[in-house]
Structure 1
Amino acid sequence: MARIVQRPDPLPKAAEVDPVTVDIIENALRNARAEMDAVLFRTAMSPGIREQHDEFPLIANPEGLMVVGQFGLSIPAFLEGFEGTVEEGDVLFTSDPYACGGAISHANDWLVILPIYVDGWVVGWAAQFGHMTDVGGKVPGSLPTDATSIFEEGVLVPPVKLYDKGRLDEDVLRIALNNVRMKEWNRSDLNALVAACRNAGRRIQELCERFGTDVYLATLDALLQRNYDAMKTLIETTIPADEVLTFTDYVCDDGMGYGPYKIHCSMWREEGKLILDFTGTDPQSLGPINYYLNESLYKMFFGTYMISVFDPQILWNDGFYPLVDVRIPEGTLLKPRYPAALSCRTHGLGRIFDILTGLLGQRQPEFLCAAGFSSSPHLMYSGTWTEGERAGEWFQLYQIGFGGIPGRPAGDGPDGHSLWPSFTNVPNEFLEAYFPLVIEKYETVADSGGPGLYRGGNGIDIAYRFLEPGQVSIHDDRWFTYPWGVNGGLPGGRSRKWLERADGTVEVLPSKCDRVQVQKGDLLHYVTWGGGGWGDPLERDPELVALEVERGLVTRDGARRYGVVLDEEGRVDQAATEALRAEIRAGRGELPLFDRGFSDLEELRARCLAETGLPAPKPPQFPPFARQGS
C-alpha cells in the first residue's frame, strides 16, 4: 500500500462556499479536463489516440474520488497495489489490470497517475490512460483472440514510479519499450499522457492560488455532495423497492469456437441503496473475452446513464458511490481469476451498457433505449512495406470501427457512430496516407438498423483494399445474437466480415480472428451491426421511410417492415400502405417490451450456418477453477 508523503497537519477547508464560486470552479474543472485531451491529441503519435481518441482523463480529490472525467477509474485501488512512497514530482505508471483492481481492463491500456501538491499537501490527483497500438505479446496489436492467459497479451508493468521526484526512471521506460513493436509510438503516447496530467496539475494549482486551497477543496466537497443528493432522489423515485428487476444478454463467442456467454444482472433497492448484482453470470472463459470489471467503474456507468437522462447539465462525479452496491462473483466472466486472458474484453464492456439500459428502462419504458453499444470493433493490419521509399519498414494499424446507435426515446440512432462521447473515426485520408491500403467503400448498410417508430442506426461497411502483404486481426461481436429492439421496435442487423481475394475467391471470416494472411489486392469487407429499433415501426411516418429509401438508408423491401409500400416512382402508395399495416397489425399480437430476434439459443444455433455462413458456436467450456453454478 502506498504511503503518501505530505504535511502532517490536516488540509484546510472553508466552512462553506457560495454558489457562484462553485459554478466558476466547476467550469474550470471541465476546461482542465478538456485541456488534458487537447494536450494528448496534439502530442501522441498513434492514430488510435491521436485521431480516434481512445483515452480517458480524470481529475480527483485528495481521497482519489473523481470530480471530473470521462471514464472513471479507481485511484484508491491503484494505490493499494503500489508499494512505496508517493512524493511531489512523482508520476506513477502501470499496465497491469490485476494490480490496480481493474482501473484499466487490459494490458494495452497504459495508465499514468500524478499527485497534485499545493504547499506540501496533496490536493488531488490527475490520471489518464490510453490504448497503446502494441504492447508486445503473440500477435501484432497485442489482442490475441486465442489467448488463454494474460501472459500471452504483452508486457505487464506493475504499479511503479515512472518519475521519482521529477526524475525519469530510464530503466522502467527502457524495459517497457523493449517489449513492444512500435517503440516510438509508445514513447510518444506515454510522454503525452504524462504531459496531459502535468497540465491538469498546473490548472488545479492555479485554482488553489486564485481562490485559496480551502475554498477549492470545499467546492469539490460541494460538487460530490450535489451528485450524492441528486442520485439519492433519483434512486428513490425510479428504482423499485418492491421487486427485483433482471436482465440477461450474451457475448456471442470467445474467439475459440465456444459461446454464447451469459451476462446476467439483477437490480433492486435496499435500505436506500441501489443493488446491482451479477450473480447468474457465466463463469470466466478459457479464452480472452473476460472483462475484469471494477465495481466503481460500473457505479460510474450507472450514474452517467441516470444523470444524462434526468439532468445532463450536472457534472457527474464519484460522489454518489456510497449509494450503489455492485456485486460481482469472483471467478465469473466479469471478475476472472488471475491470470485469465483479457485481450478481448471489449465485447463484455459493450454488453454491460446494453444490460444497464435493459435494466433501468423496464419500469419506465419511455426512457428505455434499444441495444446498440454491442461491441467496440477492432481491426489490426500489419506487415512490412515491400515497395517505394518505405521498403523494409514495419507498418501496424489499430483502428476502432462503429456500429449503429440504438433507437432512443429522443429519435433515431445515428448511423455508424460511437457511443463514447469523444471517439471519432480515423479519417480515410489519414489511413491512405500512412498505411498501404485504399478505402474503396465507407457507407451505411441499408436495413441494418432495427425498424421502429425511431429507427436504430445502420451499421457500416468499410471495404479495405490492401496494397501490401500482411496479416489482419479482427475483433467484433453481435454476429450470432442480435442487438435487440424495444417497445415494439425490431432488432438491428448482425455484423459480418468477408474477404474478396485478388484471385476471385470469397472467404467468410469469424468475428474474432488473428493471423489472417492477406495479399496485395485482397479486399476486406468489415460490416458492423445495426442498432435496435424503438417503438412500433407501423407508427413511423411513411414519408420519412420513403425519404430514407431515396437516401439509401432503407431498401424498398425494408420499407415493408414499416408497413410502407412505394410505387414505381418511389412515392408512398397510401392505400397499399394502409392495407399492409392493417394486415401486419392483425397478425402480430401484443408488442413485446424487448425483441431479441429469437425465442431461445438452440433455435438460434439451428439457424446460424444458413444465416451467417459460419457454424454456430459450441456451448461454453469453463476452467475447472472458475465459479460454477453461478
Structure 2
Amino acid sequence: MAAKIIETNNTPLTKVEVEGVTADIIENALKNARIEMDAVLFRTAMSPGIREQGDCFPMIANKQGKMVVGQFGSFIGPFMDAYDAEIEEGDIILTNDPYMCNAAVSHLPDWIVLMPVFKDGRHIAWTAMFGHMSDNGGMVPGSIPIKATTVYQEGIRIPPTKLYKKGELQSDVLELILHNVRTSQWNRFDLNALVAACRTAGRRCVEMANRFGDDIFYSAMDIMLERNFNAMKFIIQNFIPEEPRTFEDYICDDGMGMGPYKIKCKMWREGDVAIFDFAGTDPQAQSSVNFYLNEDMFKMFFGSFTINVVDPQIVFNDGFYDLVEVRIPEGTLLKPKFPAALSGRTHALGRLFDVLGALLGAGAPEQMLNAAGFSDSPHLFYSGYDSREGKNNEWFQLFQIGFGGVPGRPAGDGPDGHSLWPGFTNVPNEFIESYFPLRIERYETIPDSGGAGLHRGGNGLSVAYRFLVDGEIAIHDERWFTYPWGVIGGQVGLRSTKKLVRSDGSEEWLPSKCDGIKVKTDDLLYFNTWGGGGWGDPLARDAALVLADVNRNLATIEGALDYGVIIKDGAVDEAATEQLRVEMRESRGDIQTFNFGPPIDEIRANCKQETGLDAPETPIFR
C-alpha cells in the first residue's frame, strides 16, 4: 500500500498557461535553491566526507515526486510505493534501507531525508537529500565490510521513519539510531545539516508560490519536465539505434577471492523508447559488491551522462523517464535478492558508467565514445584510538574518497586524478593532518598511467599515508585486475596498486578490497589509483603536447615512446620521431574500436607476477 499525503486544503492545483519568461525565472530560481541546499549542508555538516568532499545529493521534486532539479534523480516514487503510512505537514522522513524503499538508496551508509512541502494546507512539492554517513555500525568501522554476506552485517537498517512528526523531533528515535553508530556526533550534525538543507529548499518553494501563485509554480514545474522530455526525445531518436547494441565489462573481484564479475547490457530503441536490458549479467555475489539498482536510478545515469555529452544546457530532471525502459533480472549482481549484502556497491556503480559510455558512444566514436576510467570511487578507512600526547586516547575514524584517471574523450585529454562524480572535491591534506593521526608524504599524479592516445587518459594518483598511531585500515578500489580500456586506437590505462611498507622495512601488496588490516606507527601506505584509457591514435598526437606532458611530469621520456615521440636534450627529435612513427604504423595492424588489453585468461595467468597478488578464482554461482 502506498503512502498517503494528508492535506487540510483539498483545493486541487490546476495546470495553467505560464509565460516563457516566468517559466525561465522559476526554473533558475529552483536551480539556485538546489545550489543553496549544498551551501547550507557544507556549512553545517561535520564529517569530512560530506563537508569537504561533497558526498551528498540534493533534489527538489514536484507534487508527484518527479525531480525537477537535482543531482541523483528521483527516489521519491520508489519510497512512496514502499511506505505504508500517512504523511502530514511538518513530517520529515528518514531511511537508509534499500530493501525497504525499492532501492531509493543503494547502501546503508547513505541516509536520505525526505520532506513534503506544504503551503496553506496544500502539498505543493518535495525536497530531499541524502548524504554518506561516516559510520552506520556493523562489522567494520565505516560500515562497508568486504566480507559481509548479508545486509544484517552492514549496520543499522532504518526503515522509512518519521524523524519529525508535524514539526516535532522524535528524539527517542534519533537517539536509538545514533546509539548504533561509531561516529554519533558526526552523524548527528550531518543529519541536522540534511534536514536544514531540505527546509531551506522548502522555504524557497513556498516563496516562489507566494510570488507567482500556486498554480503557476505547479505548472512551471511541469514545463521544466516537458522541456527535458522533448530534448531527450530528440537525443534518443538520433543517438539510440533500433539495431541492438551490446557491451560487457567486469568488476575485478568481490574481495573474497572470486572474480571477475560480468555486467552485460543490451541497448536498442523501439519508436521513441530506449531500452536497456541487463540479461546476461552475472548472478549476485557472495560478498558486498552487489548493487541493488533501482530502474529509475539507471534512467538518471543515462540521462545525466547523455545530457552532459550532447548538450549540458538541457535542464536535468525526470521528465524523460517515460522514454526509457530498464530491464534488470532478479537475482543478479544488479538486483540481488534479500538479504544480500550491498555496502560495496560503488564498484558496480562505477563500472555501469563505463558500460553506458561504451553503449552510447560505439555508434559515433568520433563524437561520443569515451574510453574507460569512470571505474570506481576509491575509499580509504583508517580508525583506532589516538595515543599521541594530549589526545586522551580518543577514537578517530577517517573515511576518504580517492580519485583516479578520467578517460580520454572526444573533447580532449582525461583530467588527471579526478572523481567519478564531477562535484566531488578532495579533502585538503592540511585538514586531514590536523584532525587525524597521519601524515601525507606524497600526493601526486602517476606519470604515464593514463593510456596513450590522441587524447590521453587522465593519470591516476599516488598518495602516501604515514600512520602516526596503531590502527586499522580498509581499502575499496577497482581496476587492479582488468584494464581501463582504450578506444579507436587509444591504449589501456595503468592498473591500480596498494603497497604497505612496514616500519621495519618489509613490504606487502594489499588487495584492492580489504578490511581489518592492522597498521603500526610509522607504517606507510602507497595508495595508487588507475589511469584512464586513451582515446584515438597516439601516433597522431602533437609531439609538442607529448613534450609538454614530459616537462610537467605527467609523462616520462620512456612513456613518450608510446606516442612514437623521441625526446633528446629536452626537445623533440623531429626526424627520429617521424621515422619511429612510420615504423610503428606499419607494424601495429588495424586499429580496433576497443582495446581491452590482454584476454582475461592471460591476465589471470600473469596476475601474480604482474601485481603481486593471486588471481581471483572464477565465481561459482549457486
Task: Please confirm whether the aligned pair reaches a TM-score higher than 0.5, indicating the same fold.
Answer: yes
Residue 595 in 1 paired to residue 595 in 2? yes
Separation in structure 1 between the aligned mates of residue 441 and residue 574 of structure 2, nearest angstrom: 39
Residue 255 in 1 paired to residue 255 in 2? yes
Whether contact under 8 Å (1:407, 1:456) holds in the other structure is yes
Whether contact under 8 Å (1:444, 1:553) holds in the other structure is yes
Separation in structure 2 between the aligned mates of residue 9 and residue 470 of structure 1, nearest angstrom: 58
| 1:8 to partner: Cα distance | 6.3
What amino acid is the match of 1:335?
Answer: K
| 1:315 to partner: Cα distance | 1.2
Separation in structure 2 between the aligned mates of residue 584 and residue 316 of structure 1, nearest angstrom: 44
**What SS is found at the alignment partner of 2:234?**
helix
| 1:272 to partner: Cα distance | 2.1
Residue 542 in 1 paired to residue 540 in 2? no
Whether contact under 8 Å (1:285, 1:621) holds in the other structure is no
What amino acid is the match of 1:145?
Answer: I
What amino acid is the match of 1:142?
Answer: S
What amino acid is the match of 2:541?
Answer: R
List alignment gaps of at least 5 residues for structure 1. Answer: 625-630
Whether contact under 8 Å (2:83, 2:160) holds in the other structure is yes
State the Cα RMSD in Å: 0.9
Separation in structure 2 between the aligned mates of residue 301 and residue 489 of structure 1, nearest angstrom: 25
Whether contact under 8 Å (2:376, 2:420) holds in the other structure is no
Whether contact under 8 Å (1:293, 1:334) holds in the other structure is yes
Alignment length, in residue pairs?
Answer: 620
Whether contact under 8 Å (1:82, 1:160) holds in the other structure is no
Separation in structure 1 between the aligned mates of residue 138 and residue 562 of structure 2, nearest angstrom: 47
Length-normalised TM-score, structure 2:
0.99
**What SS is found at the alignment partner of 2:430?**
helix
Residue equivalent to 1:571: 571
Residue equivalent to 2:136: 135
Whether contact under 8 Å (1:487, 1:536) holds in the other structure is yes
Separation in structure 2 between the aligned mates of residue 421 and residue 7 of structure 1, nearest angstrom: 42
Q: How does 1:383-532 map to 2 (within 5 A)?
A: 383-532=384-533
Separation in structure 2 between the aligned mates of residue 551 and residue 584 of structure 1, nearest angstrom: 26
Residue equivalent to 2:81: 80
| 1:12 to partner: Cα distance | 2.6
| 1:77 to partner: Cα distance | 1.0
- Which stretch has the larger CA shift, 577-586 or 470-479? 577-586
Residue 359 in 1 paired to residue 369 in 2? no
| 1:516 to partner: Cα distance | 0.6
Q: How does 1:182-331 map to 2 (within 5 A)?
A: 182-241=183-242, 243-331=243-331
Separation in structure 2 between the aligned mates of residue 52 and residue 525 of structure 1, nearest angstrom: 21
Separation in structure 1 between the aligned mates of residue 138 and residue 110 of structure 2, nearest angstrom: 14
What amino acid is the match of 1:610?
Answer: Q
Whether contact under 8 Å (2:62, 2:124) holds in the other structure is yes
**What SS is found at the alignment partner of 1:79?**
helix
Q: How does 1:152-171 map to 2 (within 5 A)?
A: 152-171=153-172
Residue 33 in 1 paired to residue 34 in 2? yes
Separation in structure 2 between the aligned mates of residue 199 and residue 264 of structure 1, nearest angstrom: 41
Separation in structure 1 between the aligned mates of residue 340 and residue 524 of structure 2, nearest angstrom: 34
| 1:169 to partner: Cα distance | 0.8
Separation in structure 2 between the aligned mates of residue 13 and residue 611 of structure 1, nearest angstrom: 65
- Which stretch has the larger CA shift, 86-95 or 226-235? 226-235
What amino acid is the match of 1:594?
Answer: F
Separation in structure 2 between the aligned mates of residue 229 and residue 14 of structure 1, nearest angstrom: 19
What amino acid is the match of 1:267?
Answer: M
Residue equivalent to 1:628: none
| 1:344 to partner: Cα distance | 0.8
What amino acid is the match of 2:450?
Answer: G
**Cα offsets for 1:422-461 (capped at 9, x unmatched):** 1000000000000000000000001100100001000000
Separation in structure 1 between the aligned mates of residue 534 and residue 606 of structure 2, nearest angstrom: 22
**Cα offsets for 1:554-588 (capped at 9, x unmatched):** 11111000000111x12111111111111110111
**Cα offsets for 1:526-555 (capped at 9, x unmatched):** 000011111000000111111111111111
Whether contact under 8 Å (1:537, 1:562) holds in the other structure is yes
What amino acid is the match of 1:231?
Answer: M
Residue equivalent to 2:563: 562
**Cα offsets for 1:54-91 (capped at 9, x unmatched):** 00001000010000001123201112222211000000
What amino acid is the match of 1:92?
Answer: I
Separation in structure 2 between the aligned mates of residue 344 and residue 190 of structure 1, nearest angstrom: 22
**What SS is found at the alignment partner of 1:412?**
coil
Separation in structure 2 between the aligned mates of residue 227 and residue 42 of structure 1, nearest angstrom: 31
Whether contact under 8 Å (1:267, 1:276) holds in the other structure is yes
**Cα offsets for 1:363-384 (capped at 9, x unmatched):** 1112111111101000000000
| 1:304 to partner: Cα distance | 1.1
| 1:10 to partner: Cα distance | 4.8
Structure 1 consecutive aligned stretches of length 4 or more whose deviation exceeds 4 Å: none
| 1:306 to partner: Cα distance | 1.7
Residue equivalent to 1:42: 43
**Cα offsets for 1:101-125 (capped at 9, x unmatched):** 1111100000000000012111110
Whether contact under 8 Å (2:65, 2:74) holds in the other structure is no
Separation in structure 1 between the aligned mates of residue 372 and residue 15 of structure 2, nearest angstrom: 46
Residue 611 in 1 paired to residue 610 in 2? yes
Residue equivalent to 2:381: 380
List alignment gaps of at least 5 residues for structure 2. Answer: none
What amino acid is the match of 2:84?
Answer: E
What amino acid is the match of 2:615?
Answer: A
Separation in structure 2 between the aligned mates of residue 383 and residue 481 of structure 1, nearest angstrom: 33
Separation in structure 2 between the aligned mates of residue 524 and residue 14 of structure 1, nearest angstrom: 59
**Cα offsets for 1:294-317 (capped at 9, x unmatched):** 100110111112211222112111
Residue equivalent to 2:115: 114
What amino acid is the match of 2:406?
Answer: I
Residue equivalent to 1:335: 335
Separation in structure 1 between the aligned mates of residue 181 and residue 10 of structure 2, nearest angstrom: 44
Separation in structure 2 between the aligned mates of residue 591 and residue 6 of structure 1, nearest angstrom: 63
Separation in structure 2 between the aligned mates of residue 378 and residue 484 of structure 1, nearest angstrom: 22
| 1:22 to partner: Cα distance | 1.0
Length-normalised TM-score, structure 1:
0.97
Whether contact under 8 Å (1:73, 1:104) holds in the other structure is no
**Cα offsets for 1:8-42 (capped at 9, x unmatched):** 64533342111101111111011100000011111
Separation in structure 2 between the aligned mates of residue 136 and residue 580 of structure 1, nearest angstrom: 58
What amino acid is the match of 2:265?
Answer: C
Separation in structure 2 between the aligned mates of residue 385 and residue 46 of structure 1, nearest angstrom: 18
Separation in structure 1 between the aligned mates of residue 74 and residue 419 of structure 2, nearest angstrom: 21
